[in-house]
Structure 1
């Protein structure tokens, strides 16, 4: 395959950029980008776990708030001769 010939640039940053981009193109052509797909899978799995934890936290928070309200009302209406 004929590669286009680029003029030689003597600036190190440009040389690095050209080398970096050539490496990325070679990786893309070789099919080595499957790692990106597995990273996306991990992100999706993590998002599902975070959502489940959020739902569980909301349920626990609701239960605790309901219990706290019930105890608060019991304390407000407490007297020496009654129990909750």
Structure 2
């Protein structure tokens, strides 16, 4: 009974799991978390760059579409834009 008055499989699992986590934390095996944080930061920077590029392209396309629209509205048979 592991030195306790009661024994439940879920409690035993939880105790074993927590002991393993504490042992990993003390052993310095937490470098994987630092690597994951680096990947999150890199991903966030890439997403920000893509967003800026998309906004620039969107603005350029909107400007071109407005010019074409103005040209079509003011067009007559004898002139070109």
* TM-score, normalised relative to structure 1: 0.89
Total equivalences in the alignment = 80
Three-state SS of the structure 2 residue aligned to 1:44 is: helix
1:47-66 pair list within 5 angstroms: 47-66=44-63
Uncovered stretches (5+) of structure 2, i.e. residues with no partner: none
Alpha-carbon displacement from aligned partner over 1:38-57 (angstroms, at most 9, x marks no partner): 00000000000000000000
Residue matched to 2:43: 46
Cα offset for 1:9? 3.9
Distance change >3 Å, CA 8–CA 17, structure 1 → 2: farther
Three-state SS of the structure 1 residue aligned to 2:7 is: coil
Cα offset for 1:25? 0.3
